[in-house]
Structure 1
Amino acid sequence: MLENLRTSVQPYGGDLFLLLIALAVISFAVLFQLKSRFPVGQLRRMIRMAALVALLGSVFAMQAGTTYYAIAGVLLVWGVLVAVVFGREIGRKR
């Protein structure tokens, strides 16, 4: 099954794409569970850091070639999801 998955994502960056999706899902799940423990200032810093990672990572992925555009998309979607979830948590805490 893993070989089928690896061959199906080969045009989008291969193993790096699978690793990035796994890291994005795991980090989002961990941050989602820990969001209520962070103070508002820390949530704002996390939003800024997620935006920085998403933007820089997507720029580097796009510079690497058209094969890695899907990786850039995953990074941007991850950054937006983190910002939306943490933004709602900031609104809830106010």
Structure 2
Amino acid sequence: NYGGRPEIVDAVKKLIERGTKMEDVDEEVIQSVLYWPEMPDPDMVIRTSGEERISGFLIWEAAYSEFYWCDKHWPDFDEVELDKALEEYASRQRRYGK
């Protein structure tokens, strides 16, 4: 099972195994040892089923993502709901943590 915390723990272990010096550790170095380092950070994360939590999903990668909470369950998530999510996303001003 995927979990964001174990992914970060594994990344730290990789850095230690490689002998990475503390002063060399920055966001780029950490990104390079995540499970999918080539994957760009998501602009938006859609969470279905009325749950307003991320459940450990992409903790590092989704830090500056916009979240869309939807009451529909995944099997019922349709094109109309996707359009709503995209419309809401388009109306937001992204601040990237600022």
Same fold per superposition (TM over 0.5): no
TM value normalised by structure 1 = 0.30
TM value normalised by structure 2 = 0.29
Structure that is richer in helix per residue: 1
Q: Give the structure with higher Rg (CA).
A: 2
- Of the two structures, which has the highest relative contact order with CA contacts closer than 8 Å and spacing of 6 or more? 1
